[in-house]
Amino acid sequence: MKNLVLLGPPGAGKGTIAKRLAAEHGYLHLSTGDILRDEVTRGTELGRKAKAYMDAGELVPDELILAMVKEHVAGKDGILFDGFPRTLAQARGLEEIAPIQLVLFLELDRDTVVRRLSGRRVCPQCGALYNLVTQPPKEDERCDHCGAGLIQRDDDRPEVIARRFEVYMKDSAPLVDYYQGKGILVRLDAARPPEEVYAAALRAIRDDRP
Ligand code: AMP
């Protein structure tokens, strides 16, 4: 099975697509953000080191991320990398860890990013993702699947959102050229409705074409 990277600014829909591809097509969803949030919640050494960076919307240092990814990937394939790599150093490090066959780049402009992240809510119990504007839960701020009260991520506050977009433009946007140069990048318009973006992602994976 192929290993894929989901690239794009925060709020572009990487997590939503990844969760669906994992559930419906058996990919292993590896979200470095989710792993880090779990480390923070459990109060591990890595979580303690990562927390301040995450709260400020800054990137956690490459060497911590690469060691963490290596541990989670060992001996597996069919991995869907979500939110990783985020720097050129991470992309180069990933080459030593797992071969990447396809990169799906979810393109989204800054204004839409800010609007989406402000409305984003997550279920603290089962991890389901919602958006109060574009994908609201059926019942007011409650998870459709497990009924838990939805929460807003700490880093989805306006001042942190702005910083996260800046960091994305500076550190992560250069990865678009990097993977394009390798001939494995497919661009998807992430401003379209989630259903359409998912269908386009699936077509790209099936066609196996950049
Ligand atoms: P995410 O859930 O992907 O938006 O990630 C949330 C936060 O975790 C980011 O703002 C970073 O502080 C940190 N993080 C997640 N993935 C990475 C990564 N690949 N490299 C550095 N920091 C990361």
Encode pLDDT of 45-96 as tens digits. Answer: 999 999 999 999 999 999 999 999 999 998 899 999 999 999 999 999 999 9
60 lines ligand 1 (CB under 6 A): yes
Helix, coil or strand: residue 131: strand
Residue 186 dihedral angles phi and psi, to the nearest 5°: -120, 130
Burial of 158 (0-12, 13-18, 19+ CB in 10 A): exposed
Examine the pLDDT at 207 and tell me if it is beyond 90.
Answer: no
For the question of residue 203 being annotated catalytic, the response is no
Between CA 21 and CA 72, with CA 74 as vertex, the angle to 5 degrees is 60
Give CA–CA dist 151/100, Å, rounded.
34
Task: Look at the chain and report how many structural domains it folds into.
Answer: 1
Encode pLDDT of 172-182 as tens digits. Answer: 999 999 999 99
Encode pLDDT of 87-110 as tens digits. Answer: 999 999 999 999 999 999 999 999
For 31-39, what is the mean pLDDT?
96
Nearest ligand 1 atom to the CA of 58 is: 12
| Domain that residue 106 falls in | 4-111+158-205
Asked whether residue 172 is assigned to any structural domain, the reply reads yes
Q: Which CATH number belongs to the domain containing residue 24 in this structure?
A: 3.40.50.300
Q: What is the pTM of this model?
A: 0.91
